[in-house]
């Protein structure tokens, strides 16, 4: 297992699949860098499953409308067709949005 620390993320890598963690302590969601960072995470060459990405939010900040605000942000993202295809096997953006919605609690975690 290899661990690499970044400014606000940790990358854990085993022999097969790295997992990327983003730690956010914000009162407003999505955070200011959401569009750029989330697409960057989805676009990583070694990420092929949503379970490899986790954004962990500080629940003590009590961000209002956590789920709906994040899903609205995902819905408005400019997603490259290559990213959509990588996760869904289609180029239909709605398919990836639906997948993220289905796996929301595994990708976006609000901790107390």
pTM: predicted TM-score of the whole model, two decimal places: 0.83
Say how far apart CA 59 and CA 27 lie, in whole Å: 9
Per-residue pLDDT tens digits for 31-71: 988 999 999 999 999 999 999 999 999 999 988 899 999 99
Q: Among 7, 48, 5, 8, which Cα is nearest to 25's?
A: 8
On the question of pLDDT at 112 being above 70, the answer is: yes
Q: How many CA atoms lie within 13 A of 1 on its CB side?
A: 5
Work out the average pLDDT over 18-42: 93
22, 34 contact by CB (below 8 A): no
């Amino acid at each position: 297992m290899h661990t690499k620390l970044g400014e606000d993320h940790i990358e854990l890598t085993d022999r097969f699949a790295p997992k990327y963690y983003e730690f956010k302590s914000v009162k407003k969601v999505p955070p200011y860098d959401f569009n750029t960072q989330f697409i960057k995470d989805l676009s990583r060459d070694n990420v092929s499953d949503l379970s490899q990405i986790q954004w962990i939010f500080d629940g003590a900040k009590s961000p209002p409308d956590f789920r709906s605000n994040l899903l609205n942000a995902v819905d408005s993202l400019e997603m490259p067709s290559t990213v959509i295809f990588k996760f869904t096997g289609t180029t239909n953006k709605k398919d990836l949005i639906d997948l993220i919605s289905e796996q929301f609690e595994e990708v976006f975690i609000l901790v107390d």
